[in-house]
C-alpha cells in the first residue's frame, strides 16, 4: 500500500491520476487498509469486540482523511474546487475501510478455528 501511495504522489502522471480517480482504484487500497488495521487491532487489543474495532477504524480512517486534506496539495485542490465530489469520495474511502475491517471480522475473526496463540486469525489459517 505504501508503494501505491508513493507512486501516486511522486511518479503518476496527471492521466494516471485521472484513471485512478475515475475507476475508484483507491477504494481497493482503503479496503486493504481496513483489513490490515483489523489484523493489527486483533493482534494488539485486549478487547476483541466489534464495537471497539469499528471505533478504532473510524478514528484512523477519519484521521487519515484529515491528513490527506491537510498535507496533500492535490487533495486540498480537489476539495476546494469540487467540494461535493470530494465529500462523496471521502465518505466512500471511510466506508471502504469499514467494509475491509468488517469483512475480516466476519470471515476470519469469527470463523470456527482453533486458538491462534497470539497470532491474528488470518495467520493461524495459513
Considering its fold, how many domains does the chain have in total?
1
Q: Within a domain: residue 108?
A: yes
Q: Within a domain: residue 39?
A: yes
Q: Within a domain: residue 5?
A: no
pLDDT tens for residues 37-62?
999 998 998 888 899 999 999 999 99
**Cβ 74 vs Cβ 13: under 8 Å:** no
Q: Within a domain: residue 111?
A: yes
Q: Within a domain: residue 34?
A: yes
Q: Within a domain: residue 21?
A: no
pLDDT tens for residues 78-112?
999 999 999 999 999 999 999 999 999 999 876 65
pTM of the full predicted structure? 0.80
Q: Within a domain: residue 1?
A: no
Q: Within a domain: residue 107?
A: yes
Amino acid at each position: 500500500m505504501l508503494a501505491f501511495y508513493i507512486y501516486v504522489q511522486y511518479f503518476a502522471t496527471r492521466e494516471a491520476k485521472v484513471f485512478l480517480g475515475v475507476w475508484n482504484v483507491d477504494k481497493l487500497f482503503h479496503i486493504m487498509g481496513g483489513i490490515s488495521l483489523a489484523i493489527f487491532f486483533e493482534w494488539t487489543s485486549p478487547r476483541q469486540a466489534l464495537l471497539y474495532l469499528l471505533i478504532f477504524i473510524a478514528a484512523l480512517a477519519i484521521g487519515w482523511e484529515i491528513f490527506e486534506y491537510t498535507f496533500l496539495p492535490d487533495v486540498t485542490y480537489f476539495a476546494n474546487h469540487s467540494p461535493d465530489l470530494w465529500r462523496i469520495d471521502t465518505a466512500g474511502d471511510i466506508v471502504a475501510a469499514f467494509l475491509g475491517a468488517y469483512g475480516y471480522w466476519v470471515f476470519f475473526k469469527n470463523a470456527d478455528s482453533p486458538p491462534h496463540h497470539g497470532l491474528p486469525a488470518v495467520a493461524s489459517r495459513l
